[in-house]
Amino acid sequence: MKTLGAPWVSAAAALALAALLHPAAGAEGWSGADASRAALALLLLFSLFAAGGPWRWLALAVAAVAGASGYDAVRGHRGLLRLEPGGASQNFEEAGPRGRPLGLRPLGFEVWLQRYEAGHAVLGIGSTGGDAKLVVTPTRAAAWGGFRLGSPRRVRTGEAAALRVSINGPSGTHALDLVPGAAASAGDLQIAVEEYFPDFALDERQRPFTRSNEPRNPAAVLQVKKGERAWRVFVIAAMPGIHRPEGLDRSFSLVSVTPAETIELSVAREPAAPLAAAGLVFAAAAVVSTVSKA
Amino acid sequence: MTWLAGLAAATMAAGAVAALAAFACSRLARFLESRDAGAEALVAAGALLPLLVLLDRRRVLRWSYGLELASGRLELPGVGRLLGLVLLSTLGGALLLAAARLAGPGPGSRWLDPRVLGRRLLILAVGLGALAAGVLLVESLRLGGGALRAAGAPLVGIVLGAVWLAGASALLLEAPLHAEHSTLAHRARSATAVAAALAVLAAAAVFAESWLGAGSYATAPAAAAVSVALVGLAALPPTRLQSLRTGLLAVMLLSLLLSPPVAR
């Protein structure tokens, strides 16, 4: 007990916990980070308590903050909600420790994106709230049904909203806009997008994959039909006209891509957050008391 | 900026000032106890050297310095040369003082006293450091907002390093010091407590700002602020390495204030 209450123990535990918590340390990628943090928080707590006197007030404040954040880590929920303009959802994608996806979790209400302008998302709330409306801005979250929705931002999904393809044939060059999921006609051809790669690359087994969701090296596989015959045509923006299908007197080039975007909001249910905040304020007062009573 | 973010920034700034005052009192109390000005100068030079080496991704070692702006990198060759000279004179001064300490208190060369030369090199480093900070400030002010933001953290680092080295050089020159050890030690303890309390309050403000603004307190700024508050708690216990822990708190508060982590 005497060693546990030694000043160097609490100083070392606080410094080690600080190092593990700081984002610059990159401890999030380490699987043992959460367990180590919990162990160090307990060591700090017991060390401050064992030191006695005014340090016990500080131990109480540390217990409130550590307990509240631990409760929220176990019993709370955090994740992302993705909505298309006009689209609705009753679930969000929950994320566990270190951003590990945990699948869909029900919100308990239906939410739809009425509009998104200048970083502000206007949300409509469904069945439980009637015509209720929530405005979420980059600096102010909104609460509904025990959840807080915040940080609205436009993100790229990795899909394409439209692809512009140029077709070069005996009658000249024509541009055609293709929407994934729908076939378009170009003279006697029916063309559809079979697969899209925003950042095309080949793996070690020469299989195509995409390195990111950003359209840095866009490419696509098109399905081209003429009467009864069909071709699979590969187009890549970096190399126009690379592929001329056998038996078809046309060549195809990918001219440009309009990336598909969605609106993403962070969702969190952290019931112990007020206790953690109160613990921090109490800790400030306890810090002053450690010197005034010393 | 919301009022909570403003409160957090003001609390961090006040906490950093208190931590720097605590650090200065702690070093002076230590000097009054040991009366070893050479050790103080070596500690100051030892802190300034890694800062100079790490500045701008170790480019000062190549006599180069620049600012990373949104529009691209902006080279400031004059600042790079000045910082290179600060590095050389600090290193030279520190090596000469260390050599003199290792050699012991016996009589030195009649022609060249390493203590005097080392002291003069450190004073030169202070002057060159002030000049480099001045040029960097003027260039950043001339270029505007983005440049001033990019130069903020290194500028504060250079100024604080130069001020510390200047104080240590003044002790080497036997400047009069009208203070008592017990008074300085008490002031160091009080200022450390104030700095730690302000660091914890700043963490509470960042925590509330994250929860109310982003919807969750599990954000990088809140984690960084709580981490700095823990460094504040670590500075409190009456144990060894007091000035190092207080100095670390000052550095962490300043870095959180000048280059806060991005929320996402």
- B41, B167 contact by CB (below 8 A): no
Q: Which residue in the set B196, B230, B236 is minimally distant from A21, CB to CB?
A: B230
| Residue B157 forms contact with A (CB below 8 Å) | no
Alpha-carbon distance B93 to nearest alpha carbon in chain A (angstroms): 33
Cα gap A168→B153, rounded to integer Å: 56
| Whole-number pLDDT of residue B212 | 93
Structure tokens at A254: 């990918």
Judged by CB atoms closer than 8 Å, whether chains meet at B216 and A268 is answered as: yes
pLDDT in tens, A172-220: 888 889 988 888 888 888 999 999 999 999 888 888 888 888 889 999 9
Residue numbers in B near A144 (CB within 8 A): none
Contacts of A62 in chain B (CB under 8 A): 233
Of A268, A64, A9, nearest to B226 (Cα)? A64
Total length of chain A: 294
Which contiguous run of DSSP H or E holds residue B112?
A: none
| pLDDT (0 to 100) of residue A175 | 87
User: What is the ipTM score, two decimals?
Assistant: 0.84
Q: How far is CA B224 from the centre of its chain?
A: 19
Write the CB contacts of A274 (distance below 8 Å, at least 6 apart in sequence): none
Q: Tell me the pLDDT band of B48, cut-offs 50, 70 and 90.
A: very high
Return d(Cα B187, Cα B181) in angstroms, integer.
10
- pTM of the predicted protein model: 0.83
Determine the Cα–Cα distance for residues B16 and A288; give it in Å rounded to an integer: 16
A8 neighbourhood in chain B, CB within 8 Å: 237, 239-240
> What percentage of residues in chain A have a pLDDT greater than 90?
51
The DSSP annotation for A137-196 comes to: BTTB-EEETTEEEEEEEEEEEEEEEEEEEEEEETTEEEEEEE-TTS-EEETTEEEEEEEE
| B173 interface with A at CB cutoff 8 Å | no
List, for residues B74-132, the tens digit of each pLDDT value. 899 999 999 999 999 999 999 999 999 898 877 667 778 888 999 999 999 999 999 99
Question: Is residue A280 within a helix (H) or strand (E), and if so which, with residue range?
Answer: helix A273-292
Confidence (pLDDT) at A126: 75
| Residue A215 structure tokens | 């359209």
Q: How many CB atoms lie within 10 A of CB A236?
A: 17
Q: How many CB atoms lie within 10 A of CB B24?
A: 21
**pLDDT for res B245:** 95
Cβ–Cβ contact A60 with B under 8 A: no
Q: With CA atoms as reference, report the closest residue to B222 among A101, A72, A91.
A: A72
Which residues from chain A sit within 8 angstroms of residue B263, using beta carbons?
Answer: 151
Please state, rounded to an integer, the average pLDDT across all residues of chain A: 89
Q: How far apart are CA B210 and CA A268, in angstroms?
A: 12
pLDDT tens for residues A131-181?
Answer: 678 999 999 999 998 999 999 999 888 888 899 998 888 888 888 899 888
Burial A119-153 (b: 16+ CB within 10 A, else e): eebebbbbeeeeeeebebebbebbebeebbbbbbe
d(CA A43, CA A187): 75
Are the C-beta atoms of residues A210 and A200 closer than 8 Å to each other? yes
Structure tokens, A50:
């064992």
User: Length of chain B in residues, anyone?
Assistant: 264
Q: Do B229 and A288 touch (CB under 8 A)?
A: no
Query: Is the pLDDT reported for residue A287 higher than 70?
Result: yes
Is the per-residue pLDDT at A129 higher than 60?
A: no
Nearest CA in chain B to A137: B213
Chain B CB contacts of A281 under 8 Å are: 201, 204
Q: How far apart are CA B229 and CA B202, in angstroms?
A: 8
Residue A277: its chain B contacts at CB < 8 A? 204, 207-208, 211, 217
Burial degree of A2 (CB within 10 A; 0-12, 13-18, 19+)? exposed
For residue A24, the 8-state DSSP code is: G
Distance (Å, whole) CA A266 – CA A262 = 13
pLDDT of residue A1: 67
On whether any CB of chain B is under 8 Å from the CB of A17, the answer is yes
Q: What is the mean pLDDT of the segment spanning B48-63?
A: 92
A/B interface, count of CB pairs below 8 Å: 137
Residue A293's closest chain B neighbor by CA? Answer: B190
- Which B-chain residues 190-249 have CB contacts (< 8 A) with chain A? 190, 192-194, 196-198, 200-201, 203-204, 207-208, 211-218, 220, 223-224, 226-240, 245
Position B103 scores a pLDDT of 86
